[in-house]
Amino acid sequence: MPSLISPAERDYILKGIECNIRADGRQRPDYREVTLETGVVSQTSGSARVRIAGGTDVLVSVKAEIGPVLVDPETGDGADKGQIICSVECAPSASQQFEGRGADELNNELTQMMSRFLSHSGPAASSFLSTTSSSSSSSTAASTTAKTTSGAGGINLSKLCIIPGQQCWILYVDALVLDYGGNLMDAIFMGTRAAIYDTRIPKTEVQDLGDGQFEFEVLDDAEDTEEVAGREDMPLCVTLNKIGARHIVDASPLEELCTEAKLVVAVNRSGELCGLQKGHEGGIEPSLLLEMIQSGKTMGQSLIKQLDASIKKEAESDLAKRQRGEPVHKLGFFAQ
Amino acid sequence: MDRKRVAGPELSVAPLIEYPVDHKRWTPQQEKRHDSKRQPEDMRPIYLKTGLIGQASGSAYIELEKTKLACGVYGPKPVKRIGQTFSGRGLLTCEIKFATFSCAKRRNQMRDPQEKELSQILTQALSPAIRLDLLPKSAIEVYITVLESDGLGSCFSAAITAASVALAHAGIEMLDLVAGCSASYIQTGPARSISSGAESIPPQIFMDADLEEEKYEQGSIVLAYMPSLNEVTHVLQSGKAEGSIISQSVEHCVEACNKIYAVMHHALLESVKENQTQL
Amino acid sequence: MSRVELLTPEGLRIDGRRPAELRKITSTTSVLSQADGSAYLEHGNTKVLAAVYGPREARRRAQVLHDRAILNVEFNVAPFSTGERRRRTKNDKRLLEMASFVKQTFEPVVITSLYARSQIDIYLQIIQHDGGTLQACINAATMALIDAGIAMTEYVCACTAGWVESEAAIDLNHIEESSDTSEVTIAMLPKSGKITLMQMESRLHVDKLEEVFTLAGEGCKQIHEVIDKTIRERAEDLAKKMQ
Amino acid sequence: MTSVADAVVPGQRLGHVQEYIAGAGTYALQDFLYASVVGLKQISRTSDNELPTMTVQRENSQSAIPEIEAIVTCKVVRVNPRFASVNIMVVDGKPCKDDFQGIIRVQDVRATEKDKVKIYNSFRPGDIVRAQVISLGDARSYYLSTAANELGVIFGTSVAGGSLVPISWQEMQCTKTKVIELRKCAKPMQ
């Protein structure tokens, strides 16, 4: 990913966007071609891989594991809720910038943004619910995981609870950026939504041992699994980059270098805004800000429809293949 | 008998935190706030003073009733890390640190990921306002220590305001001051459930929510705004909310920032008057 | 855990392979847009992605050698790659050790004297772990270096072999690896037969070593053919595109 | 004493671009003049036909950073045949909080016979030198020059420890032992 841009190149991009033509021929509100595939990593409860034509390549995996319930000592809520713990990691192979510790800051920013949009416990979370670095991380390499309990991000967390107050399902959402081609956040969110759609959680049977003690047993036959409840109204995010007086969508690395201000708008199926975050070091007029929020919302909703359609299509074609007994061959890295 | 180690008692019980008897948990009602003196749309009174830290080039201290934080600005100074390539623009680095005693739960000494991210956001919120192009090859460092936090959103917006006043006090050339303000949406009436379509009150916007109100919030927004240039330098919204509420809260925050601008203006004039009397 | 029967009386292993049979290898090159050279390799369920940057300016001026390039290898394991999720930090001792193995393997093979005062970076990303990660990484690194057009005296092919119950077996998967069988990883230059790396962390009787060793050697040759075929195909189709 | 009334704050609108010219401490943006520092507003009328310039006299001065053509006072830290590296302590009379790194290349020591300059006969570690910034240089240090007459060593300590007094543009005498040492001296300012 280039880190410097010459003034001539910047001016070329700026003028292009003014008259609504971008370097690769797209208009301002056009997305690049996105390829998506679910179930690429077999040892996970659900996984998906998103590739944007410009080179961005993200692998998202969801693993459901059983863990203790996180209870808020004061209000006591959270006892009947599962958890989502998300973390983003940029592989050093993704770009020259991520050598050594270069990727730490970006990892942290993406992780925090992801956990804020997937739940409402963002910066306004009261202190005890704030993000805590997981215990295993050594102090220097701050491992960037963010605990979230309340599921304003759409996922119904109380369904994830096994024994209220004791055990629950913890969904570890890990995004791995394999290649950097601009517009990471959108790719990560598309991958997360597809991976959560692909996730199958084994059913659990809870036996009451009579003296208030409960015991549960996980049925591990592959067919008898449930899907994640409330997965349809998970948010999807659209990154709008303000260049000059206009704003564009799905910016390539070069366009990202000429961006004065970027606005990440997370919106869910019913049009509610689940998150808003500005980036880069420029200002936006309030009027333009509201206009960008509006266009981000509409674009996000149409993106969700197209994404759901392609996920359903792929699920149906997999099902048809399984019925015909053919092995479901995942293209993975061999898709050209 | 093991004389070296003093064994603790076999049975130990967690300390009971006795809440005062009349401690009635605040539940959100229409038009009524945690501290009843305030209306939903007005802010907590702000006490702002410059010149707190002698060593720093510029400093400021801000207090919003229970939220207290101090800010020190050092610079412009040569860029320490030689690894940096030659940069024609100044480098702004901000660092927010919650004191270990500042929140209900003790925060550890090391900076946790949330503080790292808040520092990144603060850098993005302040840099549009500073004339970094006049300071080639040099760096400005902003350090904020939160002494007491009463609501993370209000704490962060106070940090933006205090940092921008400290920068002005340090004599660094700026395009404009940056005022920060936060708001939360709290569902006071019965929630509008889409299925039953029962008519109800949409979530209400509480400006500058404190810790107690934040526990019931459905979403929150933090806005950093340059009042005289009419430009938003940062917006951070989380939690679910209708588009209409978002635009309504953006307008509310912009008005609140203009009010805060007056307080910042007064604080800086105060420091000018002080210097006059000393000369 | 109950004694898992690694070798059935008819001589078949858990995943149905014969002892001297490799897992299915599928591979492709130039998968990443930013890297100078990249390759993706699958040994059965073990999936590895390798990226090569370089030769480029060294990050730390102090390490620069005036007469040749320095090799820098970085290992990165995806948190979801193993059975239960585990986040490994950057300086996890096991990963650093594996990285130094790969570095020692390629130092004599890459003609570093051609690229004086520069640095060649090899980044290995393990996407799924089902035994034999070191061998998959070395093979993937070879393909990535070739894809990056870096001069090498020969291919480097690696293969694991071990003693499973009563027979020497090749290309052990995770279950065989973790059930205290002895296991040797060999990196070999197929044409000249030279060995650049031999790594073993368990006990093996001396006279069994000879048999395991020759079996691993054949494994390397077979792997060499598969990799060579992929690289020639990619080269031809690149040449076709250029016409 | 100017009244506090016209003390201004960054971002405060001062006037129309057509009425004033933006002086120090102010900037012009879309036909308005804004203050960029905290300080007192002053309108100075240069010559009658032009517009008056608006400046803001800043309250506490921002610690200085070296600019091109600035006269700096610095201390020699290291000397090698190609350049002398110095710590810049004062810029245009204003002290800077932390010392900036600077170097005086051998070809910038003096204006005449540039190629015959012996650096050890011009500067010694510990000398205080007045120089001029000629370029922002590279990431590490600024490039300085002592070519002009009034630039060069203004204070030095001799081998014997006494302070040195300039007796010609390239000789300085130790006050204690009267030994003459070679330096590129600055012409004493009248």
**C32, C53, C233: which to substitute to probe chain A, counting the most A Cβ within 10 Å?**
C32
pLDDT, average across residues A10-14: 92
3-class secondary structure, A322 = helix
Segment (H or E) for A321 = helix A286-323
Q: Which two three-digit tokens encode residue A89?
A: 């990691």
Using only C-alpha atoms, chain D has a radius of gyration, in whole angstroms, of 22
**B177, B205, B237: which to substitute to probe chain A, counting the most A Cβ within 10 Å?**
B237
| C-beta of residue B73 within 8 angstroms of C-beta of residue B132 | no
Domain boundaries, chain B: 46-273
Asked if B86 and D139 come within 8 Å (Cβ–Cβ), the reply is yes
Give the Cα separation of B115 and B94 in Å (integer). Answer: 11
Share of chain B above pLDDT 90, in %: 35
- A117: which chain B residues are within 8 Å (Cβ-Cβ)? 238
Asked if D9 and B175 come within 8 Å (Cβ–Cβ), the reply is no
Who has greater pLDDT, A110 or B187?
A110
**Distance (Å) from the alpha carbon of A150 to chain B's nearest alpha carbon:** 10
Asked if B124 and A120 come within 8 Å (Cβ–Cβ), the reply is no
- B272: which chain D residues are within 8 Å (Cβ-Cβ)? 4, 7, 38-40, 59
**Distance (Å) from the alpha carbon of A223 to chain B's nearest alpha carbon:** 31
Asked if A57 and C47 come within 8 Å (Cβ–Cβ), the reply is no
Three-state secondary structure readout of chain D: CCCHHHEECCCCEEEECCCCEECCCEEEECCEEEECCCEEEEEECCCCCCCCEEEEEECCCCCCCCCCCCEEEEEEEEEECCEEEEEEEEECCEEEEEEEEEEEEHHHCCCCCHHHCCHHHCCCCCCEEEEEEEECCCCCCEEEECCCCCCEEEECECCCCCEEEEEECCEEEECCCCCEEECCECCCCC
Residue B112 phi, psi dihedral angles, 5° rounding = -85, 165
Q: Does A touch D (3+ CB pairs < 8 Å)? A: no
- Measure CB to CB from residue D140 to each of B82, B226, B227 and give the nearest one: B82
Q: Give domain status of residue C14, yes or no.
A: no
Share of chain C above pLDDT 90, in %: 44
What is the model's pLDDT at position A331?
A: 67
Question: Which stretches in chain D have pLDDT values below 70?
Answer: 1-5, 47-49, 59-60, 189-190
A40-93 pLDDT, tens digit per residue, is 888 888 899 999 987 889 999 998 888 888 777 666 666 778 888 888 988 887
What is the model's pLDDT at position A122?
A: 36
- Which residue from B minimizes the CA distance to A289? B232
**A43, A49, A96, A254: which to substitute to probe chain C, counting the most C Cβ within 10 Å?**
A43
Who has greater pLDDT, A76 or B165?
B165
* pLDDT band with cut points at 50, 70 and 90 for residue B61: very high
Its domain, for residue C48, covers: 26-242
Q: Does D11 touch chain B (CB under 8 A)?
A: yes
Q: Give domain status of residue C131, yes or no.
A: yes
* pLDDT band with cut points at 50, 70 and 90 for residue A132: very low
**Distance (Å) from the alpha carbon of C28 to chain A's nearest alpha carbon:** 7
Asked if C34 and A96 come within 8 Å (Cβ–Cβ), the reply is yes
Name the residue with tokens 């509420």.
Answer: B245
- C125: which chain A residues are within 8 Å (Cβ-Cβ)? 91, 93, 176, 178
B13-40 pLDDT, tens digit per residue, is 777 776 665 566 677 776 677 777 788 8
Give the Cα separation of A191 and A38 in Å (integer). Answer: 9
Q: Which two three-digit tokens encode residue A122?
A: 């963002």
Please report the DSSP string for A234-275 in residue order.
--EEEEEEEETTEEEES--HHHHHT-SEEEEEEE-TTS-EEE
Across all residues in chain D, what is the average pLDDT? Answer: 85
Task: Give the number of domains in chain C.
Answer: 1
What is the model's pLDDT at position B193?
A: 46
Q: How many beta-carbon pairs under 8 angstroms link A with B?
A: 167
Give the Cα separation of C44 and D27 in Å (integer). Answer: 66
- Supply the ipTM of this predicted assembly: 0.80
Q: Give domain status of residue C119, yes or no.
A: yes
- Measure CB to CB from residue C125 to each of A87, A91, A99 and give the nearest one: A91
Please give the domain boundaries of chain D with CATH numbers for all domains.
Answer: 4-58 (2.40.50.100), 71-182 (2.40.50.140)
**Distance (Å) from the alpha carbon of C211 to chain A's nearest alpha carbon:** 34
Q: C189: domain CATH number?
A: 3.30.230.70
Name the residue with tokens 């996180």.
Answer: A70
Please give the domain boundaries of chain A with CATH numbers for all domains.
Answer: 19-122+143-323 (3.30.230.70)
| C-beta of residue A41 within 8 angstroms of C-beta of residue C127 | yes
Give the residue from A187, A183, A334 showing the smallest Cα distance to C30. A334
For residue A158, the 8-state DSSP code is: G
pLDDT, average across residues B75-104: 82
Give the Cα separation of C240 and B2 in Å (integer). Answer: 81
- D31: which chain B residues are within 8 Å (Cβ-Cβ)? none
Judge: domain B46-273, CATH 3.30.230.70.
Answer: yes
Across all residues in chain C, what is the average pLDDT? Answer: 88
* pLDDT band with cut points at 50, 70 and 90 for residue B196: very low
A138, pLDDT greater than 80: no
3-class secondary structure, C133 = helix
- A93: which chain C residues are within 8 Å (Cβ-Cβ)? 32, 35, 38, 49-51, 76, 123, 125
A148, pLDDT greater than 70: no
Lowest model confidence (mean pLDDT) among A182-191, B2-11, C48-57: B2-11
pLDDT, average across residues A9-19: 92
**D1, D38, D60, D74: which to substitute to probe chain B, counting the most B Cβ within 10 Å?**
D38
- B129: which chain D residues are within 8 Å (Cβ-Cβ)? 10-11
**Distance (Å) from the alpha carbon of A227 to chain B's nearest alpha carbon:** 22
Give the residue from D3, D176, D146, D9 showing the smallest Cα distance to D72. D146
Q: Give domain status of residue C95, yes or no.
A: yes
The amino acid present at A8, given as its one-letter code, is A
B109-156 pLDDT, tens digit per residue, is 888 888 888 998 999 999 999 998 888 888 899 999 999 998 888 899
Asked if D99 and B176 come within 8 Å (Cβ–Cβ), the reply is no
Asked if A138 and C81 come within 8 Å (Cβ–Cβ), the reply is no
pLDDT, average across residues A19-24: 89
Segment (H or E) for A226 = strand A225-226
- Which residue from B minimizes the CA distance to A268? B240
Q: Give domain status of residue C11, yes or no.
A: no
What is the model's pLDDT at position A143?
A: 35
Q: Does C touch D (3+ CB pairs < 8 Å)? A: no
What is the model's pLDDT at position B195?
A: 44
pLDDT, average across residues A6-34: 90
Asked if C51 and A93 come within 8 Å (Cβ–Cβ), the reply is yes
Chains contacting chain C through 3 or more C-beta pairs under 8 A: A
Across all residues in chain A, what is the average pLDDT? Answer: 80
What is the model's pLDDT at position B81?
A: 67
What is the model's pLDDT at position B226?
A: 93
- Which residue from D minimizes the CA distance to B263? D9
C139-195 pLDDT, tens digit per residue, is 999 999 999 999 999 999 999 998 887 888 898 888 888 887 888 999 999 999 899
Give the Cα separation of A104 and A88 in Å (integer). Answer: 10
**Distance (Å) from the alpha carbon of D38 to chain B's nearest alpha carbon:** 6
Q: Which two three-digit tokens encode residue B88?
A: 């024609």
C96-151 pLDDT, tens digit per residue, is 999 999 999 999 999 999 998 999 999 999 988 888 899 999 999 999 999 999 99
What is the model's pLDDT at position B205?
A: 86
What is the model's pLDDT at position A25?
A: 87
What is the model's pLDDT at position B233?
A: 93
Chains contacting chain B through 3 or more C-beta pairs under 8 A: A, D
A117-130 pLDDT, tens digit per residue, is 876 543 333 323 33
